[in-house]
Amino acid sequence: MSASSASISDPAYLRARAMETLFERLEQLCEGAIAIDRTGRVVYVNEKYLAALGLERTSEAIGRPIEEVIPNSLMRKVAETGEPILLDIMELGGEQLVVTRMPIEDENGTVIGAIGFVLYDHIESLKPLLARVAQLESDLRLARRQLSNARAARFTFADFVGATAGIAQAKEFAKRAARQSVTVLLTGETGTGKELLAQAIHNASSRAEKPFVSVNVAAIPETLIESEFFGTAPGAYTGADRRGREGKFRIADGGTLFLDEIGEMPLQLQAKLLRVLQEREIEPLGSDKISKVDVRVVAATNVDLRKRVSDGAFRADLYYRLNVLSIDLPPLRKCLDDLPDICARLIEDISASGDFVNARITPSGLSALARYDWPGNVRELRNILERALILSDSGRLTSDDFVHILPVNGAAVSTPGARMTGSVVPYAEAEAEFEKQTLEHALAASNGQITEAARMLQISRATFYKKLAKFGLASGAPPV
């Protein structure tokens, strides 16, 4: 048997050749390939990938950290964990690419790096598959909601998005409240997320397995509000249920009762509520029997309760009993730095309940939203985003998608698309101005650090330099 014949039958030789053949074939078929070492530095990039990366020569990438070449790359994670990411969608220079990432191992099985391949550079070819996956995810969420307890709280602190001072403080106070069973008073404008935070407090507390009952005080007719809260005895009045009726306090026993718009509670009921908070006992309407309840009350209001007390519309003793721990939720206009994260979470939630595949918002879209005053806060923002997605053909929301749906009133801040005379400039000019301001904001937020600014905008550093040159903000030539 010849040496060549022996090598062909050698399993180790066949395995090595199979790996080489697979790599060569993948490199030929894919739209780009890049590899890094264990430290995350680029050791290889093929010629086909250069244009997408904004490079002219492979030498411009070799030796650089992968994140400088591909912002927000997950290649380093693969090299560190040894776990492949077999199919993913990556955004690069405004385009969406389908990629696969695999670890590279030495002969001893030790991970020494990672390699990634761009399988498609036109995501349209995968739209049927992506639409099917999105539909399955939507069906799964719906099934979970239907199977969940009707009295269960859905939200956690992870859903209360934001890191600005006001949101961070509210979240910190709420976490402290969750560790106790104290009464909590949530204050803030309408639409700031008071019920969301109340649910988060409940889910982080020892009462999480018990009911969460939400009541909008202002929505209950004054003639029925007492029976709604405390229940009725059998046959308490003409037309009453012969079996009696449990009130909200009894239903929430062991758990949390959320009283929204507490400032609208009638004075005569305030005295009974105070007694429940102090004595932990209720007396159903038409009954002479008192029963104990164990309920934590979280109240919320968008009015100044202290002013209501001074006006005689709210009992001072009840106000002090509710105000054991007060948490103020800031309006959206004071948390605009959190706008990208809040929009991302809202779009994710909207996409889960509708047919919005790959929905996202662009920097120019965020800039347009940041120029509005948001009197309805996050609730209004969700409404605007959902309306924009319904009207959008691509699901990629830009400033143009908000031009006709953002309210134009005293609360709105004028946009660069409108001249002082009230005439409208061409869309291309307005879009360019948004793009320029986005670059300037990124530079300011990163203290002039190009790599960090590009990472924040999720574009390559080369693309960032080109855009700077386009608007005359820099020479446009990246440093050697």
pLDDT per residue as tens digits for the range 186-196: 999 989 999 99
Return the ∠ at Cα 178 (arms to 176 and 183), rounded to 5°: 95
Give the pTM: 0.56
pLDDT-above-70 percentage for the chain: 79
Joined tokens for residue 212: 């969460």
Within 115-180, residue ranges assigned H as helices are 127-147, 165-178
Separation in Å, CA 318 to CA 161, 228, 275, 276, 321: 31, 19, 9, 11, 5
DSSP 8-21: HH-HHHHHHHHHHH
More confident residue, 269 or 470: 269
| Average pLDDT for the chain | 81
More confident residue, 298 or 138: 298
What residue has token string 């939720």? 329
* Bridge partner list, 190: none
Residue 312 to residue 441: CA distance in whole angstroms = 49
- Strands 396-397 and 281-282: what pairing? unpaired
The per-residue pLDDT for 358 is 78
Joined tokens for residue 286: 């038409």
The per-residue pLDDT for 133 is 61
Separation in Å, CA 2 to CA 5, 6, 12, 301, 478: 5, 6, 17, 89, 56
**How many other C-beta atoms are found inside a 10 Å radius of the C-beta of residue 352?**
15
Joined tokens for residue 11: 């399993």
pLDDT per residue as tens digits for the range 232-262: 877 555 455 556 678 898 899 999 999 999 9
More confident residue, 476 or 257: 257
What residue has token string 């059998």? 234
Residue 124 to residue 141: CA distance in whole angstroms = 25
